[in-house]
Structure 1
Amino acid sequence: MPGPVPEPAAARRAPRRGRAAPRAGTVALVESPVQLLNVLEWAYATGGGRGGAAGTGSGGGDGGDAGLTVIVLPPREAMTRGQLRRMAELARDEGIAVRWQEARGGTTAPLRTVGSLLGPLRRAARIVVGDPFSRYVQLLLSLVRTGPGGAGLVVVDDGTATMEFVTQLARGERLVRWHRRGAGGARAALLAPVSAAARRRMTPSADHRVEVFSSMPVEPPEHVRAVRNDFGWTRARFGPPALTGGTDLVGTSLVETGVVDDGHYLAAVTALARAHGATRYFAHRRESAGKLHRIAAGTGLEIVRPDLPLELVARRGPVGRTILSFPSTVVHTLPLALAGTGVTVAVCEVDPAWLTENASPRARGFLAGVTGTARDVRRLPPAAPTSS
């Protein structure tokens, strides 16, 4: 009677104590609905969302080791949280694992978050981030090993900020949001070592290539691979929309970020609405209730608070045949999401006189660049106030 079949030598060898587990799967860190939308677009375009990732803990989805897990780090703002929950549902419908991580729920939340995510981040073969300027994302990235044997890095759009990120990356500059003025104060100084560590993780080299998945006009530096986001997932899943035949106006957070004066903004919205017969105003998720009330009272526009990113809302419809916007992400994304629908996207330039005294010195040039590089849009001069 033959004896037992000998076990292969490789199987007999026990793993060495302390040897790192092989990297597997992709972990995406998102803080906004637009970031999560663009992670879905990246997964659709590259095939990076098949299955679920391992080691996600409570709240994660099922699946094998070769897939994608999205970790949502929600802010406190209610409208953003609502949109994130809706986007999380869409991601789960695509078979993607989603983990909701309350990272800002009190003084101990950051420590709990770091402890909870340390294992998944260190085991991941690839990390996808939506906002490389985020202090929270920088903190988590500082814990990840990149380069030879480490995790690959993908940056997906968080709006027009991607343009500034790529520029600063190419110049080797400190990562600072375009609308921020000065060095950032005591908090920035305290977090400077974390930011520096994260910047090293994001700095490409011959043995550490960084991928940027973007619908923005970016010129990637050496060792950065740019992949075009054409909103294929959005167009495949939604629409085409019914057209109202009217005009919709898209709001921005330029007032909330301290770039544009509130009074000038309201005057420009009023002038645009009258000149183009706009009837609806799609609010940005960060716009304040008081500002929106003044817009409604002063213009008669119907204020619409979208429950999803505007690209999806517009694609589902109904939507105006013309969409007006100030310089913002949507002048780059809506022409892609609405390609072939007959909708015209028009962008109104920002008059330098509208800028606040606290606006960053880079604000004027950056906003002009957002307008000037937009494709397939109609360009409008700054809206002039009109008399009643």
Structure 2
Amino acid sequence: MSVLDLARPDILAITPYASARMEASGGSVFLNANESAWAPPGGDGLNRYPDPQPPALVARLAELYGVDADRVLVGRGSDEAIDLLVRAFCRAGTDAVLISPPTFGMYAVCARIQGAQVIESPLEADFSLDADRLLAVVTPNTKLVFVCSPNNPTGNLVDAATIERIAAALEGRAVLVVDEAYAEFTHASSAVSLIDRFDHVAVLRTLSKAWALAGARVGALVARPGVVALLRHIMAPYPLPRPCVDAALFALSDEGAVKSDSHVVVVRQERERMQRELGALACVRTVLPSQANFLAVRFADASQTYARLLAAGVLVRDLTRYPGLGDALRITIGTAGENDRVLAILNPEATDA
């Protein structure tokens, strides 16, 4: 059974929109896309539509993730890939996605927008993922199973053996989508290696975190060529603006990679320091172990702590609406100075001393 047998039949049958850039390439006089012949002030080249899948960017990401270029789909962050997967595989009112809360909220949001059911297999009390529990709730109409590793908002990894076991069990039944938005902050192996064995595994990556391009909105899906081609059928004609592509290529250059690597090292060091120092504060109950660029922290009074930080100009993420995290805030690892400021606000006695 092919993974495409799981896709919506109407999506498989659809004739995709053929943009001008897809229909023809090359040439020196461009009169096929109803563009302006004149570039705007300070915007050389912006009068022309960008390539739907910029070859240089696709090639660089393929090299980075260790796959062939036909296994990479670039788009607007990983959010676009999540939405495309749900639309391609889930029939409204019939099919379902499976998630393990507390986890990234966009999986459920995209499913509900599409009219798909959301099945939940909650994480364990320690926020680990129980494969048996997850697989027990897979139904015949489950088309997508999302696993986030490291998980947002808890920061913990799902070990490779568990992911592989889930992949094997879902073969012919559902697509396993492994979200690796925070992978660069770990030393773990990527689930991309499973795609050679399982055509129903897809991996989400992003340049928003370790590559510092949240404002450019560039992400990628890594999957078998058939899945990439299917999603291109329903993708917007020109998903990535030229300036965003240029920013991504610069960030992914040798020079950019050196900077990114150095920042990741700092984040790991500061993560360890913040875990240690936050854990020693009287207002903190516990700091959850994290392999991401953030820490989920349980407080004696999370609402009061949130208000105190906000009053001092420090924004953190309120997790109290998430299941099992009613006393928690998520604190992104910042610069050493920013982290020191958080510690000072939470421990004013030390500052006074």
Give the TM-score range, shorter chain.
Answer: 0.3 to 0.5
Normalised to the residue count of structure 1, the TM-score between the two structures is 0.32
Normalised to the residue count of structure 2, the TM-score between the two structures is 0.34
Q: Which has the larger radius of gyration?
A: 1
Larger helix fraction of residues:
2
